[in-house]
Structure 1
Amino acid sequence: MRRFVAILAFLAVMLSPLAFAEQRETVRRAPLEAEIARQLADAPEVLRRFYATRAYRPAWAERQRVAAFAEALQTLEGDGLDPRDYRADALAAEQRRLKEGGAEAEALARFDLQASEALLTALRHLQRGRLDPRQVDPRWEIPLEAPPLDLAAISRAVDGERFDQAFGEARPPYAPYERLRSGLARYRNIERLGGWPGLPDTPRVLRAGDVDDAVAQLRRRLAMEGELEVMAADTDAFPGAELQSPDPRRFDTALEAAVKRFQRRHLLEVDGVVGPQTRAALNVPVAARIDQIRVNLERARWLLHGLPEAFVLVDIAGYRLSYFRPNGEIWQSRIVVGQPYRRTPSLRSEITHMTVNPTWTVPPTILREDVLPRVRRDPSYLQSQNMRVLTPSGQRLDPWQVDWYNPGNVMIRQDPGPQNALGQVVIRFPNDHLVYLHDTPAQGLFAREQRAFSSGCIRVEGVLAFAQLLFDDTGSGQDVRALIASGQTRNVSLGRSMPVILHYWTVHPDENGQLVFRPDIYERDDALLRALDRPLAL
């Protein structure tokens, strides 16, 4: 009797509507897997490999999983990406339409592949950038190297609905990227609060001691960006803020210090005076700063992966060189980079050797645009600069016998010495642009906040100390000052090569994590922003 009751109970369960649905899903699963395999024949290789790790099981059959994925895609806004590029607003609705319409395996398989492609595309964009930098910057020379996606781990993340974790593991694992993301969130919050007030467009300069309505506007502007605590008169605009002086119209010492902090973070002359340049930077709308951060998040995705333990980073727009030493220390220095019409390129190479007591052969562009006009005015200019005129074979010519309006195929070479344009040492790395790091006799240029004065190569402040660190850290056993003291022009190899990266950021965190906004000296941001905002076709 008990056996009969058990059989009846089993039949009741099997004949229930839920059991019928489960059986029908099991029966349909095999045709769906076969259809997925069939449609993958023309799919990208990464999609084929993803489904191979799953034995062609569908990834997006459950509504809850699709909804969780769509919700996770919205978080990509925090990376400066557009969730709509990955169909975040359409996936759940599309799956619901297919399910309710009783779609066949062909349509369900197509949806499954599209959702997986959206996921893999988002992960790839987080890992190495949404755009190909070579299409945005034709002078780009940094290899697009990034570790391959772990498709088996991604498949497990899909099954476990751990999309935030998958996105987090794909992002560049370096502090500057996270600080840019934090800055983006902060500036978007300022935008939600209505942005900051602009200063009146007037030639008047504001400085310490002034009392004016424009000073109160300046105070509110700096308070919005966190440079200054607000005053009693501004508590309605900033509830809960700590109060300062009772007169917001007075340009006091606290406001002067805040202006200097702002100037320092925007690579302006740090004088505490609000002149035309500082006023222009203050009046850049918060929306433009948000776009600037988004552009530089993309640049960070291009570069910040697979970095070596020790390397040299040349921050072109920030006018700074950082040497990340093998012992974990960071040596930093100010640099001078190429003028806007002689841009320093972005590239990745390896420092192989140095030239001490270098000669300098004047490059054709500098010869044509700089040296020849001076020689035509005064042929004694060459002698004053310790320069010689040579034939292509190296034979010396008398500069007074050369027709400088039609000089022919001559070379001008500057001898070693204190006036040499390359200084006492040149640090070399192979590249198609023939740029290098070097010393300079024009040391006064390093005192300026914006330093785009060179012809493309990079002048380094304190380059002798930097050169000695490279010798020490690569086991070269050389003393750079002794080599210079010999007076001989020599090429000296490092014990082993040192990676070097030249890159361009117009926003970057400083050592305190604060965002520093730099002038876009090479006008590269607009083209990158337009490309970043162009809708993606999946």
Structure 2
Amino acid sequence: MGIDGSINVEHSLADQPATVGGVSDSALGNLDELQRFYALRGQRPVWTNMARVDALVAALESLSGDGLMPSDYHPRQLAIEGQQALASRQGSTALRAFESKATSTLLTAMAHLQRGKVDPHQIDNGWEVDIAPPSFDLVTMSLELDEGDVEAVIELARPDFEPYRQLRSALAEYQSIEQQGGWPLLSARDEPLRPGDRDHDVAMLRQRLGMEGGDGVIAADTGYYPQVSLDAPDAEIYDPQLVEAVRRFQRHHLLADDGVVGPDTRLALNVSVSQRIDQIRVNMERVRWLLHGLPDSFVLVDIAGYQLTYFRPDGQVWRSRIVVGQPYRRTPTLRSEITYLTLNPTWTVPPTIYREDILPKVRNNPGYLASRGLYPLTPSGQRLDPHAVDWSNPGGVMLRQGAGPGNPLGRLVIRFPNDHLVYLHDTPSRHLFDRAQRALSSGCIRVEGVTQLAQMLFDDSGTSASVSRLLADGKTRNISLERHIPVVLNYWTVQPETDGSLAFRPDIYHRDTDVVAALDRPLVL
């Protein structure tokens, strides 16, 4: 800091020790961004009094409300160092070093808040979505800091999406429940609770649901659950009002909404509030990764929620149930663009299904192919006699099934470029859409009502075609879209509903644990 109070960032960084509160100074903000910030300010310092330092400390500590770890940014140590630096003489090394440390820490926290603390590529080998670098309004940031309003600066980085605001509000509510000691857990038992039963667990069930709705603090004004009276005339009778509350709970947790508290419902009820807090934190991080830069119109595949949503250019929203990959054949996370559709498709058996599912059956039963309408092909597409193939070592032989009602792809496929060879498609097994949990495919996404979706894609992309007419003649054909439509496949284990409540989904691919661990890992780079 010069005699005039200006600061040279490069010199100030050089004055810093190797680490700041255990965090290497390479982790404390981007030097270029830091230089641009101080150049814009004419090298004027920010942290010139303890009021501003205290505001910085408070803003960093408030990040627990965003699911981040305030300890990553060492706010208490910053307060001590700030007090010591401000007590030193003007232009001292300590004052220069603290100035750049404080601003670098703020920029790092803002980067994590805007784009996420965790790099998803490091915890998910199948992650294909590029994460854009953080971008800040440095002019507004400088003006707000001159006013001492650090919280307003933090707000500049906070994701401006309604789902994020809903998750953040819910996180505060669940943190409040945790501070109250959490909710009661039902006893471990094999016998289900059925409507009309009298049982001590029924009274516990009333308390449990009352903590997360009705008379409790979560979404009490939105009707997340019906009012659950804790002083019912006979609290141990499983009455119709409580049955309806349980059914709503089951629907919000992708369980069969039969009102019976069986093993799956009991397991969901006995998830602790701290586990639900972590689940919310994980999905706030996913919002920070994903929702930036999305167009107004796109197709969103919610893998864990078994739902596809098409946000149309005219503002309409179309939703449908889907079937996704089994846990050992996961549907990937990716962003791409829908480029063309295949009508009356043939099905070329994917390598994994060919190798692991079909080939063992062919070796045991040579008639298996004919029974499934499959036929072998050379790599160039020439049809082969199945009895002439050495199935113990088939080499480059491919298997294909012709178009028709028994084809696993149904009558239509919606295609988009990706390294995993997944796509949206029809299915002859439409009964699967009636299941509450639908991780049943080999990785691709089966869509209920896919012909309706296809027609909307044609209409909205300027492609003049009638899906029903083209399907009617049974011919296999590809139809390119005149304008490509973005598609996003993502994994949400918590979904804010339109009424403000939360829907919790099973972590079918066991992805949440790695994200929680990475969020909780102390920041050391």
TM-score normalized by the length of structure 1: 0.89
**Structure 2 regions of 5+ residues with no counterpart?**
15-25, 218-226
Deviation at 1:401, TM superposition (A): 3.1
Instruction: Summarize the alignment of residues 91-490 of structure 1 with structure 2, pairs less than 5 Å apart.
Output: 91-102=78-89, 104-145=91-132, 148-226=135-213, 245-490=232-477
**How far, CA to CA, are the matches of 1:150 and 1:137 in structure 2?**
31
Give the stretch that moved more between structures: 381-390 or 195-204.
Answer: 381-390
Q: Does 1:63 align with 2:36?
A: no
**How far, CA to CA, are the matches of 1:36 and 1:281 in structure 2?**
52
The residue type paired with residue 6 of structure 2 is E
The residue type paired with residue 305 of structure 2 is G
Secondary structure at 1:372 match in 2: helix
| Structure-2 residue corresponding to 1:518 | 505
**How far, CA to CA, are the matches of 1:36 and 1:509 in structure 2?**
43
| Structure-2 residue corresponding to 1:19 | none
**How far, CA to CA, are the matches of 1:318 and 1:146 in structure 2?**
28
Secondary structure at 1:89 match in 2: helix
Deviation at 1:90, TM superposition (A): 2.2
Give the stretch that moved more between structures: 496-505 or 77-86.
Answer: 77-86
Number of equivalenced pairs: 502
The residue type paired with residue 520 of structure 1 is D
**How far, CA to CA, are the matches of 1:476 and 1:248 in structure 2?**
61
| Structure-2 residue corresponding to 1:53 | 40
Higher helix share: 1
**How far, CA to CA, are the matches of 2:355 and 2:127 in structure 1?**
26
| Structure-2 residue corresponding to 1:3 | none
Q: Indicate conservation of the 8 Å contact 1:40/1:47, yes or no.
A: no
Q: Indicate conservation of the 8 Å contact 2:3/2:91, yes or no.
A: no
| Structure-1 residue corresponding to 2:11 | 38
**Structure 1 regions of 5+ residues with no counterpart?**
1-27, 231-239
Q: Indicate conservation of the 8 Å contact 2:8/2:43, yes or no.
A: no
Deviation at 1:425, TM superposition (A): 0.9
Q: What is the CA deviation profile of residues 440-462 of structure 1, one whole-angstrom value per residue up to 9, with x for unaligned ones?
A: 11111111111111111111110
**How far, CA to CA, are the matches of 1:227 and 1:423 in structure 2?**
44
Deviation at 1:31, TM superposition (A): 6.2
| Structure-2 residue corresponding to 1:9 | none
Instruction: Summarize the alignment of residues 487-502 of structure 1 with structure 2, pairs less than 5 Å apart.
Output: 487-502=474-489
Change (3 A) 1:457 1:297: same
**How far, CA to CA, are the matches of 2:216 and 2:3 in structure 1?**
65
Deviation at 1:407, TM superposition (A): 2.6
**How far, CA to CA, are the matches of 2:480 and 2:88 in structure 1?**
71
Change (3 A) 1:242 1:455: closer
Change (3 A) 1:34 1:296: closer
Q: Indicate conservation of the 8 Å contact 2:207/2:230, yes or no.
A: no
**How far, CA to CA, are the matches of 1:95 and 1:223 in structure 2?**
46
The residue type paired with residue 335 of structure 1 is I
**How far, CA to CA, are the matches of 1:34 and 1:305 in structure 2?**
34
**How far, CA to CA, are the matches of 2:6 and 2:84 in structure 1?**
20
Change (3 A) 1:285 1:242: closer
Secondary structure at 1:90 match in 2: helix
**How far, CA to CA, are the matches of 2:234 and 2:64 in structure 1?**
40
Q: What is the CA deviation profile of residues 22-42 of structure 1, one whole-angstrom value per residue up to 9, with x for unaligned ones?
A: xxxxxx753652544533589
The root-mean-square deviation of aligned C-alpha atoms, in Å, is 2.0
**How far, CA to CA, are the matches of 2:91 and 2:158 in structure 1?**
37
Q: Does 1:89 align with 2:76?
A: yes
Q: Indicate conservation of the 8 Å contact 1:318/1:505, yes or no.
A: yes
**How far, CA to CA, are the matches of 2:275 and 2:486 in structure 1?**
34
Change (3 A) 1:264 1:241: closer
**How far, CA to CA, are the matches of 1:491 and 1:365 in structure 2?**
25
Secondary structure at 1:350 match in 2: strand
Change (3 A) 1:147 1:122: closer
**How far, CA to CA, are the matches of 1:461 and 1:89 in structure 2?**
54
Q: Indicate conservation of the 8 Å contact 2:348/2:399, yes or no.
A: yes
Deviation at 1:163, TM superposition (A): 2.3
Q: Indicate conservation of the 8 Å contact 2:228/2:241, yes or no.
A: no
Q: What is the CA deviation profile of residues 354-378 of structure 1, one whole-angstrom value per residue up to 9, with x for unaligned ones?
A: 1111111101110111112222333
**How far, CA to CA, are the matches of 2:134 and 2:515 in structure 1?**
24
Q: What is the CA deviation profile of residues 249-285 of structure 1, one whole-angstrom value per residue up to 9, with x for unaligned ones?
A: 0001111111111111111111110111111111111
Q: Indicate conservation of the 8 Å contact 1:229/1:243, yes or no.
A: no
Q: Indicate conservation of the 8 Å contact 2:45/2:99, yes or no.
A: yes
The residue type paired with residue 518 of structure 2 is A
Deviation at 1:116, TM superposition (A): 0.4
Q: Indicate conservation of the 8 Å contact 2:406/2:428, yes or no.
A: yes
Secondary structure at 2:479 match in 1: strand
| Structure-1 residue corresponding to 2:20 | none
Look at both structures and tell me which one has the larger radius of gyration over its CA atoms: 1
Secondary structure at 1:496 match in 2: strand
Q: Indicate conservation of the 8 Å contact 1:439/1:460, yes or no.
A: yes
Deviation at 1:137, TM superposition (A): 1.2
Deviation at 1:190, TM superposition (A): 1.0
**How far, CA to CA, are the matches of 1:156 and 1:274 in structure 2?**
56
Q: Indicate conservation of the 8 Å contact 1:146/1:305, yes or no.
A: no
Secondary structure at 1:126 match in 2: helix
Q: Indicate conservation of the 8 Å contact 1:359/1:416, yes or no.
A: yes
Deviation at 1:389, TM superposition (A): 1.0
| Structure-2 residue corresponding to 1:13 | none
Q: Indicate conservation of the 8 Å contact 2:215/2:229, yes or no.
A: no
TM-score normalized by the length of structure 2: 0.92
Deviation at 1:380, TM superposition (A): 2.7
